Structure 1
């Protein structure tokens, strides 16, 4: 049981690192205030309906996120009063 928890914690840390990496990429493109949490919020918005995706889809969703898609997410969130 403990090894499963460690694996879950390690996996969560890796996903968090991927989100931070994507946020750093966006900062290099001029989006100064993007955080890893912002990336996760953008990516995970569709998971509420679908449920947690397989790991390969999650990784693909993070690394293939485009700045335009992120900005669309922020715009819609602002209109809904969530941002």
Structure 2
């Protein structure tokens, strides 16, 4: 059985959809201004050090992101002046 490889555009679309889904979840919890890009920025901050993660880790990192972890990321970014 051959494994299907996603091309770059398909992978980008899938990641964007996952991040948007997570942003919608946060919006339901009261974090009204969260976007998919915000989720991606939070999740991908570790990949600069680690390198490109396997797809299963990427999916897990997006879907297991907690609101408190996201808010900690925003607070630290604000202190550093990145937002």
Q: TM-score range by the shorter chain?
A: over 0.9
Does residue 23 of structure 1 match 2:23? yes
Correspondence 1:3-42 to 2 at 5 A: 7-42=7-42
Correspondence 1:70-81 to 2 at 5 A: 70-81=70-81
Unaligned runs of 5+ in 2: none
Structure-1 separation of matches of 2:59 and 2:44: 11
Normalised TM-score (structure 2): 0.92
Aligned residues: 79
Unaligned runs of 5+ in 1: none
C-alpha RMSD of matched pairs (Å) = 1.2
Normalised TM-score (structure 1): 0.92
Segments ≥4 residues shifted beyond 2 Å? none
Deviation of 1:7 (Å):
1.5
